[in-house]
Structure 1
Amino acid sequence: MIRLYILAGFSCLFLMMHLNGNLNKYINTKYAYLSESAIVLLVTLFVFEFIRLYAKEREANRRKTKELLGDEKVGGDDHAAHGHNHAHTHGHSHSHDSHDRDHEHHLHHAHHDHDHHGHSHDEPIRWKRYLGYGILIFPLITGFFLPVQTLDSSFVKAKGFSFPNFDASADNPGFHQFLKPDTSVFYGKQGYAKVSKKELEEFSNMKNVELNDINYLKGLESIYNYPTTFTGRTVSFDGFIYKGEQVEGNHYFVFRFGFIHCVADSGVFGMLVNFPSDATFHDDDWVHVTGKLNWTFYQPFKQTIPELTVEKWNSIPKPKDPYVYRA
């Protein structure tokens, strides 16, 4: 029965994510069909499990009814035959009493040993089963009762946004996803070169590179991959402000949290922005910036990174969906 409740719980949880619009907090919405398939599969398994339990309970009730009817019949036959068998049984009962007691004593010990043996084997199995149920129930409890948290600068601070290594790790591509979206770890060397050149064609002919919610990650990756192509061009995009301890003067990072596939490989992506001297911001302020793209050697990272020199900017409200996704 617990399995039935677990299947129903996960079905409702995935369905709730779709209905309340929170699915994009967990995965790239391009892969929404996976959760839809999961809902269909879970509902199908729920139906089969329900039918199995119903058939099992029905069979148990049928067997119980049959046993009760059998006991009533045996009881009636025994009463009718009691007079006939009494004399015969009385004559032989004394000769068999000792044998029967020995036989019952032997059966009692055998039954006791069997119970003890079964108990020692059932306990570990039962413990493992309950542990498995607990592992499955935990995400249901958190999914239903804990609010969905939107990523912001507090997550950047908690993670220790100090850029210890600018290189992405092929073994753990999500761990170092910052500033530059890097999908190279999902392709072979030749495959990635082909994909990146194809995506470059989408932006290389733009005099003014406008990064929006749809093309943000692709465009930003092209800028990082082909710096000379975009140097001196006008670039504009939306993002939230993050000052950080390593940024001085009127330089701020402007970021968007993005999902390449899901939250496991999510990252904070953007660039260093040089604002006018009269601009003052707080972390998590949302802005739209437009400026000229150049490159600078940033000592804390020991890397050359893009720097946008702002020509104009304006404050904007936080978007309904603050995330961007890899198209």
Structure 2
Amino acid sequence: MIRLYVLAGFACLFIMMHLGGNLNKYINLKYAYLTQSAIVMLIILFLFEFVRLYRKERAEHERKSKAERRDHDHEHDHELGHAHGDVHPHTHHEHHDESHEHHRHGDRHDLPHAHHDHFGHSHEQPIRWKRIVSYSILIFPLLTGFLLPVQTLDSSFVKAKGFSFPNFDASADNPGFHQFLKPDSSVFYGKQGYAKVSREELEEFLPLKEVGLTDANYLKGLEAIYNFPDAFIGRKISFDGFVYAGEQTEANHYFVFRFGFIHCVADSGVFGMLVDFPSDTAAFHNDEWVRVTGTLTSSFYQPFKQTIPMLRVTEWKTIPKPQDPYVYRA
């Protein structure tokens, strides 16, 4: 019965994510068909388990009904036998001998049964604990999914995790690693395959007079900029993001970030670049959303001990937080 409830719980949780519009906080909606397939599979398994339990319960009910009818017929025959004065043909001594023989045989059979019950009980205990542990593992994500609110990531995540910037030629070999600053989809391609994809994506942005990074192309465009910085130096670039005051070398330097998913939350990250605001700009607070436009340059960033792309701002304005603050890999 617990399995039935677990299957129903996961199906309802996925359906709730779809209907509540929170699925995009867990996976790239490009892969929403996976959760839709999971819902269908869970419903099928739920129906299969429901039918199995129904048949089992019905068979048990029929067995008990037959046993009750058999006992009732036996009692009825016994009452009829007394009413007609029937006497069992066996003598008192035969009854005594049979009882004695049955008792002796019973004594011989009782000991093995007792021995078997003892060991059966000892084997049953670890099995029961295994079931408790396995069901607890399944029930825990259900409880957190239903009871805990969905939290939108912000600068506190960046502050708690910190962020690092690998060399341009280095790529993480673990797709479950949270990425920072530079989007890196190389872990999902072979070396030659990634080189081809990178070149194709570069060709997509090179003809643009002004590179406007939107929700649809943010991760793709930013990865192209980091992979081929020389091709974009001196070009006009604009994008939206939230401000994070990192370990900047100057007071008017801030990072402007967007949280993004390549596939799902396992390979999510905070992506953006260092931004140089005009010297007369008032100080920003973390999580303040801005739209920046400027010229791409580069700067040696001491905490990373390397040169990274930097946007020298010519225009900027504060904007309200978007309804969906995340961006996704197309």
> With structure 2 as the length reference, what TM-score do the two structures score?
0.94
Residue 304 (structure 2) pairs with residue 301 (structure 1): yes
- Cα distance 1:64–1:174, how it changes in 2: closer, same or farther (>3 A)? closer
Tell me the equivalent position of 1:51.
51
Q: Which residue of 2 aligns with 1:232?
A: 234
Q: Which residue matches 2:216?
A: 214
1:128 is aligned, of 127, 130, 135, to 130
Q: How does 1:155-234 map to 2 (within 5 A)?
A: 155-161=157-163, 163=164, 165-166=166-167, 167-170=170-173, 172-175=174-177, 177-234=179-236
**Aligned residue pairs: how many?**
325
Distance (whole Å) between structure 1 residues aligned to residue 96 and residue 135 of structure 2: 56
Residue 88 of structure 1: SS of its match in structure 2? coil
CA RMSD after TM alignment: 1.6
Q: Is the 8 A contact 2:249 2:302 kept in 1?
A: no
| 99, 102, 105: which one aligns with 1:103 | 105
Question: Is 1:318 aligned to residue 321 of structure 2?
Answer: yes
Deviation per CA, 1:237-292, whole angstroms, max 9, x where unpaired?
A: 00000012344320000000000000000011000000011222000000000000
Residues 180, 224 of structure 1: 8 Å contact kept: yes
SS at match of 2:90: helix
For each residue in 1:168-225, what CA deviation from the matched residue of structure 2 results, as whole angstroms up to 9, or x when unmatched?
Answer: 321x234251111000111001111111111111100011000000000000001111
Cα distance, 1:296 vs. partner?
1.7
Measured in 2, the distance between the counterparts of 1:13 and 1:176 equals 25
Aligned residue number for residue 259 of structure 2: 257
- Kindly tell me: are residues 199 and 258 of structure 1, through their superposed partners in 2, closer, same or farther at Cα, counting changes over 3 Å? same
User: 1:120 and 1:294, CA in 2 relative to 1: closer, same or farther beyond 3 A?
Assistant: same
Residues 257 and 269 in structure 1, CA contact (< 8 A), matched pair in contact too = yes
Determine helix, strand or coil for the equivalent of 1:290: strand
Q: Which residue among 284, 291, 295 is the counterpart of 1:292?
A: 295
> Residue 189 of structure 2 aligns to which amino acid in structure 1?
Y
Corresponding residue for 1:7?
7
Give the letter aligned to residue 70 of structure 2.
G
TM-score (norm 1): 0.95
User: Aligned ranges for residues 67-82 of structure 1 at < 5 Å?
Assistant: 67-80=67-80
- Could you tell me whether the CA contact under 8 Å between 1:286 and 1:316 is conserved in 2? yes
Give the unaligned 5+ runs of structure 1. Answer: none
The structure-2 alpha-carbon separation of the partners of 1:246 and 1:106, relative to structure 1 and needing over 3 Å to count, comes to farther
- Residues 1:247 and 1:24: Cα distance change in structure 2 (over 3 Å): farther
Q: Residue 38 of structure 1 aligns with which residue? A: 38
One-letter identity of the residue aligned with 1:67:
A
Residue identity over aligned pairs, in percent, reads 66
2 CA distance for matches of 1:173 and 1:9? 29
Please state how far the C-alpha of 1:298 moved relative to its aligned partner. 1.6
Q: Determine the C-alpha separation between the residues in 1 that align with 2:234 and 2:26.
A: 36
Distance 1:297 1:160 in 2: 19
Structure 1 CA distance, aligned partners of 2:72 and 2:198?
82
| 2:29 partner amino acid | T
Shift of 1:89: 4.1
Q: Measure how far apart 1:321 and its partner are.
A: 0.4
Q: How far apart are the structure 1 equivalents of 2:241 and 2:216?
A: 14
